[in-house]
Structure 1
């Protein structure tokens, strides 16, 4: 770990020219004291790093210093591969590895390309924390030690012991055969089997994890995307409600944000869209479509149309006489999309 940090420190100085100890500490996610010790270690090893004092001072390398430091380690290569297909830089505890790997990639570029690549990177933004409506992306925080054990068990193919708190249950220990890790809209899941049965666990509900020495019982090759689709389909078929709805195209994204999944979509003659979407239950569907007001209409099932009609009638009655006022009902809350393991 320290060797990788020393390499990253040298690469940071090569790419930035001069950096203060606090700035280096922030980049490397260590304390300032650790940075100072690392600087001393580099100097002792013959790396020409020197200190510049003053308000704009810091540490720098002698001009022209270069050495081959760009070999990627396992986690860095994994971080690049994962980030290339998904938002892996924020998933599975690989953010530090990705930052280190990208520094090595930049350092391996010819001198003439570094400036243009750096400028290009500043002009591309992928998946910011909030959208144009100021809705922030919620990313679950998983303890680093727990995430490291989960990754280790999944990648090495060993059984995994987890301390898991299912919905409305006390935490219990389970030993599972891990298949893979999935992240969806900032939420992480462990796909596994337990006694031969499929299990899906929310990472945020795993309080502790330990990779065991015993090999896991699982196939050597896996199509994780297909497995996730199959499990999602089974989940959605279990007691959920499918709704046919027409919506103003300007509110399409709002409709999708409130639903679990979209099964079909087509334009209609009046310029609106007709979609087949899934909700957790009737209450969830009423809540979600009520938020869209006159910009959406539930076409089926009849039970949903009746529930919305009754709700609209109650609201109209409440506001029919402006001279009467009473306590307002507590706002209904959208149930969270949960997948519990057992």
Structure 2
């Protein structure tokens, strides 16, 4: 791993020209002390890296220095394959591998192509951390050691022990047969079987993982897209789901659809408003989603949800009635 890091350090200096120890540490996800040790190791190996003092100083390479050490390792090649977005790689714990791989790809380009690509890249911003309303996009953290164990078990076809924290339950160890990995809206999921039954686990809820030597009980080939659709269908139609009949302003249709599990029926009423039957995961999900729509939506059924929204609105109105 250190050899990969040393190559990445050289490629960073080639790409940016000069970087401080702090900037290098941030890019390589290590401490500044580790960066300084790596700089010493490169110098001892004959790589012409030198330090520049002063406010805008840092480390740099002698002009014209090139390295041919641009071969991608396994994780870097894998990261490129799932790099439809950087968030996709992050969901599987491959964010640092993707950054390292992209450095090697850029360094391998001819000079003319590299300059053109750099200029074009400045004109593109893919999935920034905030949206137009300055709402920060939250990534689910998957510890690197957990992601590495899960990936190894999936690719090797071995059983996997996971310490899983299901919502509302105490964490417990489970032995599963991993089938594949899926990322949806920046969330990573492990598709597996347990005692022959299909199971789906959110990666961010796996607290620890251990790859086992025992072969997993799973088919040699898998259609992940089909498997995901089947599990999605079972999720939408099972459990403690709630069906709600609601009249909604057409301008807020997408807000409702974006929070609901599924749209069952939909029609336009004489008043121009939409009459929709939608499903939610449970009572809490339904209460939260409809409250967000305020007066843009009216629940027609069930009655318990109408009563809940009425009582909550009365309580809020009472809180703000009169002066302070």
3-state SS of 1:87 partner: helix
Find the counterpart in structure 2 of residue 241 from structure 1.
242
Which residue matches 1:339?
A: none
Q: Which residue of 2 aligns with 1:303?
A: 302
2:173 aligns to what SS in structure 1?
Answer: strand
Residues 245, 302 of structure 2: 8 Å contact kept: no
Instruction: Name the stretch that deviates more: 106-115 or 161-170.
Output: 161-170
Using the TM superposition, give the Cα deviation of residue 106 of structure 1 relative to its aligned residue in structure 2, in angstroms.
1.1
- 1:41–1:282: structure 2 CA closer, same or farther, 3 Å change rule? closer
Counterpart position of 1:180: 180
Structure 1 window deviating more from structure 2 (182-191 vs 91-100): it is 182-191
| 1:97 CA displacement | 0.3
Quote the Cα distance in structure 2 between the aligned partners of 1:119 and 1:139. 28
Task: Write the distance in 2 (CA, Å) between the matches of 1:252 and 1:85.
Answer: 28
* Alignment root-mean-square deviation, CA: 3.0
Q: Paired residue for 2:105?
A: 105
| Ranges in structure 2 where 5+ consecutive residues have no aligned partner | none
C-alpha displacement at 1:262, in angstroms?
A: 4.3
**Is the CA contact 1:142–1:203 (under 8 Å) kept in the aligned structure 2?**
yes
Contact residue 79 and residue 89 of structure 1 kept, 8 A:
yes
How far apart are 1:267 and its partner, in Å? 7.0
Distance 1:52 1:120, change over 3 A: same
Larger displacement relative to structure 2 (218-227 or 276-285): 276-285
Three-state SS of the structure 2 residue aligned to 1:198 is: strand
TM-score scaled by structure 1? 0.82
- CA separation of 1:231 and 1:249: change in aligned 2, threshold 3 A: same
Query: Structure 1 317/264 Cα, relative in aligned 2: closer, same or farther at 3 Å?
Result: closer
> How many residue pairs get matched?
321
TM-score (norm 2): 0.86
Tell me the CA shift for residue 296 of structure 1: 2.5
Residues 209-261 of structure 1: per-residue CA shift (max 9 Å, x gap): 10011111111221212211211211111131334545334323432343234
Query: Following the alignment from structure 1 to structure 2, what is the Cα–Cα distance between the partners of residues 318 and 108?
Result: 61
The answer on whether the counterparts of 1:159 and 1:175 sit within 8 Å (CA) in structure 2 is yes
2:260 alignment counterpart = 259
Output the CA distance in 2 between the equivalents of 1:187 and 1:52.
42
Question: Any residues of structure 2 matched to 1:90-129 within 5 Å, and which?
Answer: 90-129=90-129
Structure 2 residue 283 is the aligned partner of structure 1 residue 285: no
The change in CA–CA distance for 1:85 and 1:43 in structure 2 (over 3 A counts) is closer
